[in-house]
Structure 1
């Protein structure tokens, strides 16, 4: 019996967990390391998963748990700042007609579902561990870990996020760049009438929106021009978000009443990243936010990361030889799909920052989402 090929996955977020599950299903030996001791099991407020993300989650075998844990809906509402509904648009089912257009869910809940699936896969998991050095030759990669141990792998998959240290270690110079916007987010109880995402444009923020994440919860957010993070003390986060949110009507007064604990409010800048040329060096390859990131204006960040994992796993498990040509094919297949999403997500924000009133936002969104309905 031949020895199975060995893979190290660096990072246990959505992309890293997904590729681990798929490779283990094919019989490969997979080690997953995650820098956080808690595996990010409590981090984040909420997430919007569109159909193309749900399609991959179904492939992972976790769709039923996602469906039970989240809140499915099929439209988005556009409102005035006072809460008046101006338009309701049906969402395109990018995952196919047998899946909802979107599911909102609590981000920690999604992470827990993926953690359970990784554990059930039989992968070897090491938490609180980072990869320190990578030494490559024609046969594989020797990795030294921060705890002083080492390992030898046929392939290393870097899924260690926007600030990927693996990307830097293998000599890829691309770095995330701020787009000029920032977002305040919080998880809160769901008002009874909230049954979809609603977006308000105008007022003191560029966007004020919310998304139901279960029968009883939602996450709410306001988007503004980015500010110097050092000038905003964390203990003022609730006050800052509440100041912006109280200008909005409709369901917002009820939501705003729950913005009281600064520890529950997240503030982050919007970033753009698209690694050009290739997403690998030798036998180390990037997936997810380590390779690309875009503002959440199209809610496609997690979906694109999950698609990366699905496509790379297909290529790896279907090939007799893992070589430069295979990893180049992975890049070429993904860049054609990822680039339009990154560019559209950034453009929508740019139009808002520049105050362009006649921008064809609906048309750009429709063209991009139609493209995503095709299989990756």
Structure 2
């Protein structure tokens, strides 16, 4: 297997491209955007993602642009610390258990590496259709060309067009939650992630992403109210009931800060195959979970690196792909189940037996095992 098409230039697609290119494969990467560069808000990157990024040689370039930390603080909305827990080292003892970063910084490193490697990148281009033939796939692209590949890897996200082409019936689903995110200043004392409970919204928190910046968030209803407020005014209104470090965060938010709101959606293709012939889907295209344990990027990175490892093995390609899919489904299922349980507890806090810290710690502890 030599010629591979990767559809989608996000985290899953870029890491898969690098892993395959480093094996000597000829990779063509499709990205539907005409301008491909790092974009997005803050992101929490856990140790198992760092392990995958190390595998493709990206970690040393990413680390200087981030803020590593080892603990998670659980706080009351008034700012009091309820407890502090150590974050399990899901990437092994030699890597930071967690770090905060701008998604744009992470993506920019991966994009730069792909260009430096000389990978063929087709911007503003989509996969329109495909046809499986013996030991190959004929791909029809939106630029009007038709090209033959040994394999197509679809990493085109939760809104994947390839998912429908492959006959997968699952669609993304609402979680019942929405999230506001903002990148703003932090104090030196805000040096690890903190999550605030028992406030007027479902939950709020922040993660440091550099020496002087953090990204803060608040979980809300999934529809932004039409109340005439600007994004800055609305975010400050939502955070008014959170104190301690949030008093500083709230006052530091201005119109110039990067901020966004979106409903939280999820997807898990658990009972259908992730492949159609020699077309296989990975990442958020088949498993996008709510960000309650911050494993979205990590699971995408694991998919990408592990798939490349399977494709380096000898044996029938279809059998290798099926073995990869079954292995990843078991891993991802635990992440999705824990994330949905946490989301349900946010929506229905009157339930008995709520153990947010226990579920988070248990899910991350399981991820200390190899992917």
- Report the TM range for the smaller structure's normalisation: over 0.9
Distance 2:94 2:363 in 1: 20
Is the 8 Å Cα contact of residues 87 and 361 (structure 2) preserved in structure 1?
no
1:261-292 Cα distance to aligned partner (Å, 9 max, x none):
28832111122211132110111100100010
Q: Which of 10, 16, 37 is matched with 2:7 structurally?
A: 10
Q: Which runs of no fewer than 5 residues in structure 2 stay unpaired?
A: none
Q: Which of 293, 299, 304 is matched with 1:309 structurally?
A: 304
Q: Which runs of no fewer than 5 residues in structure 1 stay unpaired?
A: none
Q: Does 1:269 align with 2:263?
A: yes
RMSD over aligned CA atoms reads 1.7
Is the 8 Å Cα contact of residues 236 and 262 (structure 1) preserved in structure 2?
no
Is the 8 Å Cα contact of residues 142 and 151 (structure 1) preserved in structure 2?
yes
Distance 2:114 2:254 in 1: 35
Distance 2:56 2:228 in 1: 37
Calculate the TM-score normalised by the size of structure 2: 0.96
How many residues were matched structurally?
369
The Cα shift of 1:122 comes to 2.4
Q: Does 1:192 align with 2:180?
A: no
Q: Does 1:354 align with 2:348?
A: yes
Distance 1:55 1:266 in 2: 29
The Cα shift of 1:357 comes to 5.1
* Residue aligning to 1:375: 370
* Residue aligning to 1:65: 61
Map 1:333-344 → 2, pairs under 5 A = 333-344=327-338
Q: Which of 123, 143, 150 is matched with 1:147 structurally?
A: 143
Q: Does 1:329 align with 2:323?
A: yes
Q: Does 1:226 align with 2:239?
A: no
The Cα shift of 1:192 comes to 2.0
Distance 1:206 1:302 in 2: 23
Mean CA deviation greater in 59-68 or 5-14 = 59-68
Distance 1:240 1:40 in 2: 29
Is the 8 Å Cα contact of residues 225 and 353 (structure 1) preserved in structure 2?
no
Distance 2:144 2:154 in 1: 20
Map 1:278-289 → 2, pairs under 5 A = 278-289=273-284
Mean CA deviation greater in 179-188 or 245-254 = 245-254
1:218-256 Cα distance to aligned partner (Å, 9 max, x none):
1000001212x5x55997322221111122111112211
Q: Does 1:254 align with 2:248?
A: yes
Is the 8 Å Cα contact of residues 65 and 113 (structure 1) preserved in structure 2?
yes
Q: Does 1:76 align with 2:72?
A: yes
* Residue aligning to 1:291: 286
Cα distance change on mapping 1:233 and 1:19 into 2, 3 Å: farther
SS in 2 for 1:160: coil
Calculate the TM-score normalised by the size of structure 1: 0.94
Q: Does 1:85 align with 2:81?
A: yes
Would you identify which runs of 4 or more consecutive aligned residues in structure 1 move more than 3 Å?
231-235
* Residue aligning to 1:23: 20
Mean CA deviation greater in 83-92 or 232-241 = 232-241
Cα distance change on mapping 1:143 and 1:233 into 2, 3 Å: farther
